[in-house]
Amino acid sequence: LFDELRGRMREDEASVPVPDGDWSYYVRYRPGGQHPLLCRRPRGADDGEQVMLDGDAEASENAYFRIVEASHSPDQRLLACALDLTGAEACSLRLRDLEGETWLDLAIEQGHGDLVWAGDSRHLFYTVIDADHRPRWVRRRDIVSGDDALVYEETDPGFFVGVDKTESARFVLINSRDPDTTEVHAIPAHAPETAPQCLHPRTAGLEYSVSDHGDDWIVHTNAGGAADYGVMAAPIAEPATAPWRVVVAHQPGVVIEEVIVLARYLVRLERAGALPRVVVRAWADGAEHIVRFDDPVHEVGIAAGYEFDTDTLRLDYSSPATPEHVYDYDMARRVRVLRKTEAIPSGHDPANYVCARLDAPTADGETVPISLVHHRQGVPGPATPLLLSAYGAYGMATDAGFSPHRLSLINRGFVVALAHVRGGRDKGDRWYRQGKRHAKTNTFDDAIACAEHLAHQGYTSRGRMALHGGSAGGMLVGAVVNKRPDLFNVAVADVPFVDVLNTMLDPELPLTPPEWPEWGNPIEDHEAYRTIRGYSPYDNVAAQPYPHLLVTAGVSDPRVTYWEPAKWVARLRELKTDDNLLLLRTNMSAGHGGAAGRFDCLEEIAFRYAFLLKVLGRTETLAFGVAGKTLRGAPDVRAQWWHPNRRGRGCGRSRGCRAGPPDHRGNCRPLRYRGRGR
């Protein structure tokens, strides 16, 4: 399986270069290399490459290594980077001279990973975590003098702080937030020693993020009852007191997920009915157009690049059957230019696969979207194995993009389905609110409704399904197998948040106070206590049969501490009444994100898939693709030393939250690379 997965990976993979002034920046891998190389070359040239940071070389003496973030200075002479050397998400911040290609004397530990340059290329803003692993301080380092100053301290233990920069590079932004409330301070990037200006004081339930355009702040916000967000404008001179003007009105059920502000365009990524769309608005006349994609199930991402005064928008697009396509979209001419198509070296024809969207009815009258894919030659039926994945937390929508790794299941006859359950914003803020706090059990009931609907529609049957979720999605797995163990033959719970009640009762844990708005505060709210006690997987294990289970943990995990899944597995072993496999693997050299190297990630995925294939009886031959090929050398599924891949996007709304829905590509956590933009 590992060889099969690796055969779909282009080993010299490289990103599409992004221009910034005289240079173009990109990330690539060398054949056989585990870690990325951060590179640049002269703009418009095909040669003259400079390797700014060699991830393989830096990782050679570390059991764990991940480049969390990298940011080149505006004058393009320096590279700041944040390196995680333990998996505990406490970063070492380092500085590299790109002209001399040497490391400078910068020793900052316990960084959170945010790195933002001031406009003078001399001052670097960064965040530092406290003893409870909470991003608490924003500091500013003078690279020339070595002076280090405290810029901002977040004193509320329920809030995390981060630092960013507007697309124009005019302002450095300090963002404080919990899952429901935001406060932003701004500093002129050309005057980095200026005291931060609060744009609007924190108000419970008010969320906002800002960019700048001309004399205005452009505010992406839920102000004025805009539950699914709108876009407003406020004068830069007095944003806290002057009335905010509507730029893009709120549309109930259409979530504005992301906004990019450029010199001539306002771009927004929206989601309606669990499908994304890109809308471009010209500042000159307010004219809007939608960038359309035709697949019934797909995923789209947007990126501004480093340059503010541009007509070009970078888009990436995929569907469950279609590999990623990267486009440069000319917003003036409304023309897409294909820059890259994800290569599958072992071969892949999207026409061989069927994508579909279903809607599962629930007992309370809602319908839950399901995105699914299967091989065209594999007509689903009651004997068909099906993998159902779900997340449903923090308002994070579930992406329905391409994963080359899933082909190892689909080509063996699996249907792969993604349930867009409540708790995410797949169908708007209402969908999120109906899957949090006192309504959290809707998330689990939705997953059950999706499983039953898939069986009723003839895609599979009870006992032929596998359930998967990671982190907060692992909570879903635990709650569902407690409530309906008969539906699933096997389940995989990656770094699962399963000891919910005890965790939310302990205010000393770093993630507990910031997450009371998401789950409820059982210390002060009796109803929250009863609700959490009623679904917390650890507290509801019963003397009953359970599916085959694979459970993972990471010893350095700061988000889901390793003893949570260990306690859950111990209680399951004590009470369950079956002889099914129950495996626990604790990674002793990684944290919440699992292995960092790209091939190490493939080994994790291979074991997870071997576990599923073994239990569901699909190990012998490929049903499609390479006909008659035998799966050999599959790891013993009883082994205790492995854990499956558990990628998460993390929650952009709360930097401290547990990892988001699994990356649709199954890849390692993406490297954050910044230049002047964000």
List residues with catalytic annotation: 471, 557, 592
DSSP result, 607-674: HHHHHHHHHHT--SB-SSSSTT-B--SPPPTT-SS----------TT-TTSPP-SPPTT-PPPPPEEE
**Integer Rg of the chain from CA:** 24
> What crossing angle do the helices spanning 441-456 and 472-483 adopt, rounded to 10°?
60
Give yes or no for a contact between 369 and 357, defined as CB atoms under 8 angstroms apart. Answer: yes
Place of tokens 């700048």: 212
Rounded Cα distance, 550 and 638, in Å: 10
Q: What is the signed CA dihedral for 35, 72, 678, 237, rounded to 10 degrees?
A: 160
Distance of alpha carbon 310 from alpha carbon 295, whole angstroms = 28
* Full DSSP string of 28-97: E--TT-SS-EEEEEETT-SS--EEEEEHHHHHTT-SS-EEEEEEE-TTSSEEEEEEESSSSS-EEEEEEE
Residues 83, 305: Cα–Cα separation, whole Å: 23
DSSP-based three-state secondary structure for 573: helix
Q: Is 221 helix (H, G, I), strand (E, B) or coil?
A: strand
DSSP E strand boundaries for 170-311: 171-177, 182-188, 197-198, 208-213, 216-221, 230-235, 245-248, 254-261, 265-272, 275-282, 288-291, 299-303
The encoded tokens of residue 509 equal 């844990």
Q: Residues 6 or more apart from 636 whose CB is under 8 A from it?
A: none
Tokens 């294990």 correspond to: 541
- Helix or strand holding residue 368 (H, E): strand 367-375
Residues with Cβ within 8 Å of 41's Cβ and at least 6 positions away in sequence, in order, are 17, 23, 24, 26, 47, 48, 49, 50
- Residue 420: strand, helix, or coil: coil
Whether the Cβ atoms of residue 154 and residue 579 lie closer than 8 Å to each other: no
Structure tokens at 598: 């790209």
Kindly give, in sequence order, each residue whose CB lies less than 8 Å from that of residue 563, ignoring residues fewer than 6 positions away.
499
| Separation between Cα atoms, residue 469 and residue 482, nearest integer Å | 14
